[in-house]
Amino acid sequence: MTHRIAVIAGDGIGTEVIPEGLRALEAAAKRFNIDLDCQTFEFGSCDYYLEHGKMLPDDWFEQLKDFDALFYGAVGWPEKVPDHISLWGSLLQFRRRFDQYINLRPCKLMPGIKSPLAGRQPGDIDFYVVRENTEGEYSSVGGKMFEGTDREVVIQDTVMTRTGIDRVLKYAFDLAQTRPRKKLTSATKSNGISITMPYWDERVEAMAKGYPEIAVDKFHIDILTANFVLHPDWFDVVVGSNLFGDILSDLGPACTGTIGIAPSANINPEGKFPSLFEPVHGSAPDIAGRGIANPIGQIWSGAMMLEHLGYQDAGDAMLKAIEDVLASGDQGVLTPDVGGQGTTESLGRAIAEKIAG
């Protein structure tokens, strides 16, 4: 069976880490006899925008909808195109139109990597952020009024639906169910945001009734961010709205040493549309062009993609290769964000070689 993968590198270091993601996928595909047919698209980047006046062609949905998965690098180059135009015109369209309502973001302190948190060892930080990915604070409801006057006002409504909340909660509870600790933490802010967040809490309580074996707690987002730093070992599955999940999924990986290794799976669990796999990080204009970006976020996203396509063994082997190479501590291979002097390519090649076995 052939799996059709649409590859979109995007901008900046997206174009540097994608080739390493593909190298690792190729090694896994060969070892596990997986037939991947990867097709590269130029759209979804700021250079495409500069040429065409839009981030995506009008028929992008038709072009992509029958792929089995999308493998994305990163998008955004604010000096060329304002971020809200490039992101709303590409990545956020994919998430919404392909109904990728789960954004699954693992957070794990790896062997060989020093956490910026004192005394933390591998095993101390090992949780998932499950982020609602299609609604919430990322809404297109609102507008600007009285523009150019001193009465100028901007409004952007948060939209939460019962279906939207319940489906992400169900996914998170089901995930917690598969974990040894069976623990779920909900990110809220129902003390200050007095309509949507109490409703979120209410839905969490309702869902929890169906999962009596799961230990559920909740924290307001402000103290939750503090607890990520002070007590990362408390967390197992953390579920949050679109914005809270976004913030937590940069903070969590930072606590594991670098956001450069963090992967994400934007999932349409029903499989009605393709899911999208991309690193958590962005296009990193500050280091782009130097060949020093850590490719692990992209490679690990590839591992999640193979798992999603049904190849758990191949995904596990990719993650094991990442862990082994990190644990080796080889300064010549590792990228600077994890204490080495190597390059995107040296790290990518070392991982691909391990995957090949």
Helices (H), 159-230: 162-177, 196-208, 221-230
Residues in the chain: 357
User: Shortest Cβ distance from residue 333 to ligand IPM (Å)?
Assistant: 27
* C-beta closer to ligand IPM: residue 92 or 109: 92
The residues facing 215 across adjacent strands are 183
Say if strands 69-74 and 2-10 run parallel, antiparallel, or are unpaired. Answer: parallel
The verdict on 278 binding Mn ion (CB under 5 A) reads no
Q: Write the CB contacts of 14 (distance below 8 Å, at least 6 apart in sequence).
A: 45, 72, 73, 74, 75, 283
210 to 249: interface string for ligand IPM, x by CB under 6 A? ------------------------------------x---
Distance of CA 21 to the CA centre of its chain: 15
User: Shortest Cβ distance from residue 23 to ligand NAD (Å)?
Assistant: 15
User: Shortest Cβ distance from residue 110 to ligand NAD (Å)?
Assistant: 14
* C-beta closer to Mn ion: residue 246 or 307: 246
Q: Which residues bind ligand NAD (CB under 6 A)?
A: 13, 74-76, 78, 83, 87, 91, 259-260, 278, 281-287, 293-294, 297, 337
Burial 93-110 (b: 16+ CB within 10 A, else e): bbbbebbbbbbbbbbbbb
User: Shortest Cβ distance from residue 211 to ligand NAD (Å)?
Assistant: 31
**Cα distance between residue 168 and residue 175, in whole Å:** 11
**Cα distance between residue 265 and residue 287, in whole Å:** 24
DSSP string, 322-349: HHHHHHHT-TTTS-GGGT----HHHHHH
3-state DSSP call for residue 26?
Answer: helix
* C-beta closer to ligand NAD: residue 68 or 278: 278
**Cα distance between residue 283 and residue 267, in whole Å:** 21
* C-beta closer to ligand NAD: residue 91 or 204: 91
- Binding-site partner at residue 130 among ligand IPM, ligand NAD, Mn ion, none, CB < 5 to 8 Å by type: none
* C-beta closer to Mn ion: residue 16 or 246: 246
Interface with ligand IPM (CB under 6 A), residue from 87, 254, 255, 356:
87
Token digits for 2? 């052939």
**Cα distance between residue 100 and residue 138, in whole Å:** 14
User: Shortest Cβ distance from residue 121 to ligand NAD (Å)?
Assistant: 23
* C-beta closer to ligand IPM: residue 5 or 280: 280
**Cα distance between residue 192 and residue 306, in whole Å:** 41
Do the beta carbons of residue 242 and residue 250 sit within 8 Å? no
User: Shortest Cβ distance from residue 267 to ligand IPM (Å)?
Assistant: 13
* C-beta closer to Mn ion: residue 246 or 337: 246
Interface with Mn ion (CB under 5 A), residue from 246, 278, 307, 337:
246
Residue nearest to ligand IPM (CB): 87
List, edge to edge, every strand of the sheet that includes 69-74.
35-41, 2-10, 69-74, 275-279, 263-267, 102-108, 126-132, 237-240, 183-188, 215-220
Residue nearest to Mn ion (CB): 246
The verdict on 280 binding ligand IPM (CB under 6 A) reads yes
User: Shortest Cβ distance from residue 146 to ligand IPM (Å)?
Assistant: 28
* C-beta closer to ligand IPM: residue 91 or 338: 91
178 to 197: interface string for ligand IPM, x by CB under 6 A? --------------------
User: Shortest Cβ distance from residue 280 to Mn ion (Å)?
Assistant: 6
Residues found near ligand IPM in the complex (CB under 6 A): 76, 87, 92, 246, 280, 282
State the residues that interact with Mn ion by CB under 5 A. Answer: 246
